[in-house]
């Protein structure tokens, strides 16, 4: 049996001298405790050394992908072809299938071979002659660095790193812009406070401040390229009756410099947004069509990469970004959140409050399909995303019309659905079970109380008033008349 052993310095092919030792897998390591014992089991047949790091990197890359490199093919043809009847022990079963197919050599891979490889590695310095230990360690380190750089450069998972960095930078720029603009308005407001109420747009405000400087220059300044005519007239009128304090030229110079910074950052933000939009359409076109480039980029950033996001189910995509609210709801046994980052998508935003939960659930289901298609599919078109978005818009119109359309008859009872309420499974302890006195029901007690009240009340007999009887007139009285 021949053994193919891969090292950072080259390919080594060993001849197994005593194959009976391989049957005792558990005790095989004892045969490699010393270099002398190891040389009795295996013997170096051929060593194909790499010329430089580039060749070593090409060979290692081929092995990772399960292919036969040029140097390996050369070594196998030179040595193993002479002994074609021998079996070739290899450490990778996938590579064995390729060797069997290409060179028609029988390969073997089992637990005994794996243990033999480990034993050879432990005595590699003594078995492979002509390679000092320092040289082997230097070659291993160089190959490891080269292979890491190669994987990092060509890994498909690392392409979306640009999206993660761009959306993070975009959020940071928004925060800094807000701070700068707030500081600029407050600072210049001491000199010309009325301008902040007249000009509400932040960029237009900074450009106006940079152009006019001192408020006394407003009347002589032409602001038509920055502001509409009516607002420009209002600014000039406010400058004449302004209640602001006077400032020096040095103060105006610093305020103008701050305005320059705000304008530059705003321009860079617009450029960065265009870059992010293009990158999202290139990497995740279907997700971009479904939820938009900003929401899609935030979902990818939150998950870490597009591939990690593709591994999440639709229910996780729906509440991604609302983890704090989810765990708080689970802890307090309240209703869990219905949406997270997906709430900012345009489809959810244009829905009424009653249907936001339904639309966010359906959008998350379709978005998870789009994410998996973008991450694992070969096509780069956005047809599936556009088709699913049209279905969601049709469903949204149906839900909106359902609330307006009147339902009558039995359809009303069928359409009625009870609101889901979370019922707690926790049962409280009932202390009434501790008493040994037999308890009577409330109904029974109430009847007994009524009977006692009836007994206590004196029974008064009802006396009927008799009508006075008319006395009969006697005959004697009649005769006297």
pLDDT in tens, 262-320: 999 999 999 999 999 999 998 999 999 999 999 999 999 999 999 899 999 999 999 99
255: which 2 tokens? 């305020």
pLDDT of residue 481: 47
Confirm if 27 and 56 have CB atoms less than 8 A apart. no
Q: With the CA atoms of 96, 101, 107 and 113 taken in that order, what torsion angle do they form, in degrees rounded to the nearest 10?
A: 0
Question: What is the total residue count of the chain?
Answer: 481
In percent, the amount of the chain with pLDDT more than 70 equals: 81
User: Minimal CA–CA distance to 269: which of 377, 382, 180, 153?
Assistant: 180
* Residue range 267-283, pLDDT digits in tens: 999 999 999 999 999 89
pTM of structure: 0.57
E strands of 253-391, at which residues?
A: none
Q: With the CA atoms of 51, 54, 56 and 60 taken in that order, what torsion angle do they form, in degrees rounded to the nearest 10?
A: -160
* CA contacts within 13 A on the Cβ side of 30: 5
Q: How far apart are CA 385 and CA 388, in angstroms?
A: 5
Per the listing, tokens 């039995």 go with 410
pLDDT of residue 470: 56
User: Minimal CA–CA distance to 191: which of 214, 211, 210?
Assistant: 214
User: Minimal CA–CA distance to 339: which of 355, 331, 330?
Assistant: 355
CB 257: neighbour CB atoms within 10 A? 10
* Residue range 434-445, pLDDT digits in tens: 666 655 554 555
- Strand arrangement, sheet containing 42-49: 42-49, 10-16, 2-6, 88-89, 107-108
Q: How far apart are CA 338 and CA 358, in angstroms?
A: 9
pLDDT of residue 455: 56
pLDDT of residue 81: 63
Confirm if 232 and 224 have CB atoms less than 8 A apart. yes
Q: With the CA atoms of 221, 222, 223 and 229 taken in that order, what torsion angle do they form, in degrees rounded to the nearest 10?
A: 120
pLDDT of residue 454: 56
Domains and their CATH numbers in the chain: 2-152 (3.30.420.220), 177-276 (1.10.287.4070), 284-402 (1.10.246.90)
* CA contacts within 13 A on the Cβ side of 404: 7
Q: How far apart are CA 318 and CA 368, in angstroms?
A: 9
Residues of the chain with pLDDT under 70: 80-81, 84, 151-158, 403-430, 432-481
pLDDT of residue 10: 83
């Amino acid at each position: 049996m021949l053994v193919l052993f891969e090292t950072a310095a080259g390919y080594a092919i060993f001849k197994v001298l005593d194959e009976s030792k391989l049957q005792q897998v558990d005790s095989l390591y004892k045969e490699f405790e010393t270099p002398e014992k190891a040389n009795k089991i295996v013997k170096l047949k051929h060593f194909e050394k790499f010329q430089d790091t580039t060749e070593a990197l090409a060979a290692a890359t081929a092995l990772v992908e399960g292919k036969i490199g040029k140097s390996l093919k050369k070594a196998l043809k030179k040595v193993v072809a002479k002994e074609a009847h021998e079996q070739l022990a290899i450490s990778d079963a996938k590579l064995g299938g390729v060797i069997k197919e290409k060179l028609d050599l029988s390969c073997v891979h089992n637990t005994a071979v794996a243990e033999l490889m480990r034993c050879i590695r432990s005595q590699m310095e003594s078995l492979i002659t002509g390679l000092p230990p320092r040289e082997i360690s230097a070659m291993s380190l160089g190959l490891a660095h080269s292979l890491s750089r190669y994987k990092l450069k060509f890994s498909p998972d690392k392409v979306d790193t640009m999206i993660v960095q761009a959306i993070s930078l975009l959020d940071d720029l928004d925060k800094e812009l807000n701070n700068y603009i707030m500081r600029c308005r407050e600072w210049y407001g001491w000199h010309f406070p009325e301008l902040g109420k007249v000009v509400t747009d932040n960029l237009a405000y900074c450009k106006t401040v940079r152009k006019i400087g001192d408020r006394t220059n407003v009347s002589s300044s032409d602001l038509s390229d920055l502001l509409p005519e009516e607002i420009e007239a209002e600014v000039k009128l406010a400058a004449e009756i302004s209640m602001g304090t006077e400032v020096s030229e040095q103060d105006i110079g610093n305020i103008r410099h701050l305005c320059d910074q705000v304008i530059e950052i705003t321009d860079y933000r617009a450029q960065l947004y265009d870059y992010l939009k293009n990158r999202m359409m290139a990497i995740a076109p279907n997700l971009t069509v479904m939820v938009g480039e900003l929401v899609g980029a935030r979902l990818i950033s939150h998950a870490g990469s597009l591939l990690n996001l593709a591994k999440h189910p639709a229910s996780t995509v729906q509440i991604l970004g609302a983890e704090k609210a989810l765990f708080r709801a689970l802890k307090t046994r309240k209703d869990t959140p219905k949406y997270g980052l997906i709430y900012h998508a345009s489809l959810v935003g244009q829905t009424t409050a009653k249907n936001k939960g339904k639309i966010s659930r359906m959008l998350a289901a379709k978005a998870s399909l789009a994410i998996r298609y973008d991450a694992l599919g070969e096509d780069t078109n956005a047809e599936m995303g556009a088709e699913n978005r049209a279905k969601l818009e049709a469903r949204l119109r149906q839900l909106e019309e359902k609330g307006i359309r009147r339902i009558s008859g039995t359809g009303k009872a069928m359409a009625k659905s009870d609101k889901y309420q979370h019922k707690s499974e926790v049962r409280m302890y009932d202390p009434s079970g501790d008493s040994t006195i037999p308890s009577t029901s409330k109904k029974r007690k109430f009847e007994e109380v009524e009977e006692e009240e009836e007994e206590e009340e004196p029974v008064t007999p009802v006396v009927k008033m008799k009508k006075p009887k008319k006395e009969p007139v006697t005959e004697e009285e009649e005769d006297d008349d």
